[in-house]
Structure 1
Amino acid sequence: MTRSKILPALPLLAAGTIATPALAASVTITIPQIKVAEYHRPYVAGWLEPAAGGAARTLFVWYDVKKRGNEPGTKWLADLRTWWRKGGRSLKLPADGVSGATRGPGRYTVAIPTNLPSGQYVLKVEAARETGGRELVSVPFTVGGKGSGSGKTELGSITIR
């Protein structure tokens, strides 16, 4: 191989290593299977708060986005009491990239924003289910680190990677 064939590839190789994107953090939420006669999918919201206190940042809110009429799905979001008080009531829904349909039992992964300033945070995940219960799980973590927690009834394991 001649020198002229090797040299043009070097800038591309160098550019590729410099421009490699950082690994994005994510949170995995488990919604457990609950054996009851009348099961309704839970409304679930997840948000971040600085550990030292401050404004909440909603990551996701899952609710009945298709419900219309006299009782639209947003009417019941106030049942996610902690999230509602922390900023849910001021969020205009549907919010692009944040809101989505309710989820059935299973594991779901949501990205944590890459522009999150370094520091310590608390991820909070709250679930409320019609004819069911309500649960709030808090998971402390440091940006770039890991964290985990678990609910007892409405939520299962919650893992930050």
Structure 2
Amino acid sequence: MQRRFVSRRNFIYRTAGLFLTLWAGRGLAQVRWASGMKLDITFEFVGGGGRYRPPYVAVWLENAQGLPVRTLAVWFEQSRKGPRWLNELRRWYRSSELSEAVSGPTRMPGRYTLSWDGKDDKGNWVNQGEYFVCVELVREHGPYELFREKVALGQNPFKRSYSVASELKEVTLAYDKQG
């Protein structure tokens, strides 16, 4: 039987790797997304008149560290201008990728509801905990708005409404059992 020599560097790498594995594994004790729960994000924006151009809108969720978890929708002009102004959705654009699964054309003013089932962009279930709900709205020759609110998602349902004094008029978050 041949003995294997362990160098100091190899020992440090293996010890550091073990430490990192144990440290990262502490997240395994976290509780997975509550079965049957969903988060409904309802938002309303106003506008119109004359040469009104519908806003580009992005709706997504971030984890407690501010990293993107799931993009629910990105609405932008899908004609010849297309993604030309997409980078004006500053926060979303900086940290996410455009996916045909969530992108769509702009919408006229109104009330819209999107639901999150607790899965990330790759389809994996996330853990219960704190998340940021983000609704970003920008309009050509118009305002830039970002609604970003921290919510704790666990076993207890809730419903909260937020008034916003601009084109993004109201955002309602409802966490409850899927109906």
TM-score when scaled to structure 1? Answer: 0.71
Give the whole-Å Cα distance in 2 for the aligned partners of 1:76 and 1:104.
17
CA 104–81 in structure 1, closer or farther in 2 if over 3 Å, else same: same
Give the counterpart letter for 1:101 in structure 2: P
In the other structure, the counterpart of 2:51 is 38
Q: Of the candidates 159, 167, 171, which is equivalent to residue 154 of structure 1? A: 167
**After the TM superposition, which residues 34-113 of structure 1 pair with which residues of structure 2 at under 5 Å, given as runs?**
34=47, 36-65=49-78, 67-68=79-80, 71=81, 73-87=82-96, 91-93=97-99, 95-96=100-101, 98-113=102-117
3-state DSSP of counterpart to 1:25: strand
Give the whole-Å Cα distance in 2 for the aligned partners of 1:81 and 1:155.
16
Consecutive unaligned residues of structure 2, counting only runs of 5 or more, are 1-34, 120-125, 175-179
Give the counterpart letter for 1:137 in structure 2: F
TM-score when scaled to structure 2? Answer: 0.65
3-state DSSP of counterpart to 2:168: coil
In the other structure, the counterpart of 1:124 is 134
Give the whole-Å Cα distance in 2 for the aligned partners of 1:151 and 1:114.
26
Give the whole-Å Cα distance in 1 for the aligned partners of 2:149 and 2:62.
10
CA 46–54 in structure 1, closer or farther in 2 if over 3 Å, else same: same
More strand by share: 2
How large is the Cα RMSD of the aligned pairs? Answer: 2.0
Give the whole-Å Cα distance in 2 for the aligned partners of 1:135 and 1:152.
10
